Amino acid sequence: MPTVTFRFYEELNDFLPPGLRKRDFSRTCGSDATIKHAVEALGVPHTEVDLILVNGRSVDFSYRPRPGDRISVYPEFETLDVTPVTRLRPSALRRPRFLADAHLGRLAKYLRMLGFDTVYRNPFPVGEIIRGAASEKRVVLTRSRALLMNRSIDRGCFLRSGHPLEQLREVLERLQLRSAARPLTRCLRCNEPLTPAPGGSRVSARPRGGGEPPGSVRRCPRCARLYWEGSHFRRMQRFVRVVLEGGSEGPDGSRRVNSRPDTGS
């Protein structure tokens, strides 16, 4: 069984026991273990790793460690040009779709608010998460590293924060998504893209309970909720702007878009 030297870099250290962070340490790997198994045995989900160098050369996850290997493990680089080496994570999706674990309801809503396709259920059985991630190539968002260690999950993002707004920023930063946002184009409740409301003129009366007459009206084709540019909508627009600019404001108490069920009348 080969004994090797590991060193983990940057935020990957968060997954290690304190005594192993930011320093070289030795480990004995199973004789049949791939480097992916060896890294995950130390608590680091493969979805968080972008580059592994063995004795200075990049390898993929199927590499089997040999005695005396020096293994350096890196998270995603944004600033360093590592083009000639083997990056381990699948190539970035131009417009990623997400699958949010059951404990991330608020984050799922925020992502939908920014127009990102985000499947979310509560409860959300692990088997369904894994199947959905694989068959629809979705990025799994979770605070469970055990889930991200599942071999069927290629794309994942471990969320460090327990706070939904911070989680949203983590996702936007890590996947470089700020410019891909299409705010207020998706139903917050069921994730369906909104379409122009047919016969929008019929809802041009003032909203029940006062408020201003709606501007353009959009409708969720699944749940028939209507979305229009009332005051709640503008608060939400402000929230979206603040998030995209990296500020820290919450959605100002209005976490629901101004909407009402379509009565079909």
In the complex, the residues that contact Zn ion under the rule CB under 5 A are 187, 189-190, 192, 220, 222-223, 225
Q: What single-letter amino acid sits at 47? A: T
Min. distance of Cβ 191 from Zn ion in angstroms? Answer: 8
Helix (H) or strand (E) holding 260: strand 259-261
Specify the residue, 46 or 225, whose C-beta has the smaller distance to Zn ion.
225
Nearer to Zn ion, 48 or 262 (CB): 262
Give the nearest distance from C-beta 170 to Zn ion in angstroms.
26
* Shortest CB 188 distance to Zn ion, Å: 8
**DSSP per-residue codes, 73-88:** EE---SSS--TTS-B-
Count of helices and strands (H, E) across the chain: 6, 13
**CB 186 to Zn ion: min, Å:** 9
- In the complex, the smallest distance separating the C-beta of residue 219 from Zn ion, rounded to whole angstroms, is 9
Residue closer to Zn ion by CB (options 1, 190) is 190
Judge contact between 188 and 120, C-beta under 8 A.
no
CA 7 to chain centre: 26
Q: CA–CA distance from 252 to each of 162, 234, 242 (Å)?
A: 19, 11, 11
Cβ distance to Zn ion smaller for residue 227 or 239: 227
Strands 3-8 and 70-74: parallel
Q: Smallest distance, Å, CB 221 to Zn ion?
A: 8
**25-28 and 70-74 beta bridge pairing:** unpaired
Of 192 and 212, which CB lies nearer to Zn ion in the complex structure?
A: 192
Q: Please provide the size of the chain in residues.
A: 265
Closest CA to 264 of 206, 203, 208: 203
Which residue number, 56 or 261, has a Cβ lying nearer to Zn ion? 261
